[in-house]
């Protein structure tokens, strides 16, 4: 089979000669990509919704002024706590401010003073603002005398007012047995009662022991 060979014709190569250096205006090229129509709508709505910078600065300044006013009001409301003597006088303790007693409530003993408050175990049947009288007074002490009960001070009474019926903070009870895949987690809040002590009375007729002053050797 015969094969024919055709002459190849080479075309002259053309080169583009550019002047060097190129001007800066010609070196920078900018290509603007077409933006889809839905993107145009989103950009337009975002530009309309964006607040002006002046308005944003004004709003920030107003918010700072309001925060400063709130802080000043809180500082003014936070009053300095009064000393204990002033609190007792305001509570109506008067001359009984220098007296304290030991009273038994349930199976526990509490040191009480007029004007102070204590947390005790829940007193059933007591409502808020109820006035109660505690008769199991084990000891009454003043500045110069001590009335020691045998076992209680006869006719002595501690007057109190129920302020709150609440519960203690939660206590976590966790049980675990090793190698038995046993664990239990429980929470418990013990009910309590808050009592405000208003006065101590009825101890004057009980035999008293003088309190001797300590004289250093």
At residue 144, the pLDDT reads: 87
At residue 209, the pLDDT reads: 87
pLDDT tops 60 at residue 59: yes
pLDDT tops 70 at residue 34: no
Task: Find the mean pLDDT for residues 31-48.
Answer: 66
At residue 79, the pLDDT reads: 39
* Size of the chain in residues: 217
At residue 45, the pLDDT reads: 72
Q: Most distant CA pair in the chain: distance in Å?
A: 151
At residue 50, the pLDDT reads: 54
Query: Per residue in 85-139, pLDDT tens?
Result: 454 455 444 444 589 999 999 999 999 999 999 999 999 989 999 999 999 999 9
Q: DSSP E strands: which ranges in 78-130?
A: 100-105, 108-112, 117-121
Looking only at the bridges linking them, the beta strands covering 209-210 and 191-201 are: unpaired
Q: Residue 96: which of 201, 194, 195, 196 has the closest Cα?
A: 201
At residue 141, the pLDDT reads: 92
First to last CA, the chain: 144
- Residue 106 neighbours by CB under 8 Å, 6+ apart: 120, 121
Task: Find the mean pLDDT for residues 25-44.
Answer: 59
At residue 110, the pLDDT reads: 96
The percent of residues in the chain predicted with pLDDT above 90, rounded, is: 46
Query: Per residue in 148-193, pLDDT tens?
Result: 999 999 999 999 999 999 999 999 999 999 999 999 999 999 999 9
pLDDT tops 60 at residue 210: yes
At residue 168, the pLDDT reads: 94
- Tokens linked to 85: 């003597």
Mean pLDDT for the chain overall: 75
At residue 62, the pLDDT reads: 61
pLDDT tops 60 at residue 84: no
d(CA 44, CA 40): 6
d(CA 94, CA 114): 9
At residue 72, the pLDDT reads: 54
β-bridge partners, 118: 195
pLDDT tops 70 at residue 201: yes
Higher-pLDDT residue of 194 and 6 is 194
- Tokens linked to 79: 């009053």
- Tokens linked to 136: 């199991």
Task: Find the mean pLDDT for residues 77-82.
Answer: 43
């Amino acid at each position: 089979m015969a094969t024919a060979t055709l002459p190849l014709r080479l075309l002259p190569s053309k080169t583009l000669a550019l002047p060097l250096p190129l001007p800066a205006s010609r070196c920078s090229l900018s290509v603007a990509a077409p933006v889809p129509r839905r993107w145009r709508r989103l950009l337009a709505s975002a530009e309309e919704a964006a607040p002006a910078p002046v308005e944003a600065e004004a709003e920030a300044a107003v918010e700072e002024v309001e925060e400063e006013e709130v802080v000043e009001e809180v500082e003014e409301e936070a009053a300095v706590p009064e000393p204990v003597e002033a609190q007792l006088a305001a509570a109506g303790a008067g001359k009984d401010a220098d007296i304290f007693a030991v009273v038994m409530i349930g199976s526990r003993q509490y040191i009480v003073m007029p004007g102070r408050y204590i947390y005790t175990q829940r007193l059933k049947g007591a409502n808020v603002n109820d006035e109660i009288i505690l008769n199991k007074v084990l000891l009454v002490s003043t500045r110069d005398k001590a009335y020691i009960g045998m076992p209680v001070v006869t006719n002595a009474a501690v007057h109190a007012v129920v302020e709150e019926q609440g519960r203690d903070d939660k206590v976590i009870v966790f049980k675990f047995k090793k190698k038995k895949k046993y664990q239990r987690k429980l929470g418990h809040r013990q009910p309590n009662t808050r009592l405000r002590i208003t006065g101590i009375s009825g101890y004057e007729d009980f035999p008293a022991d003088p309190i001797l002053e300590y004289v250093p050797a």
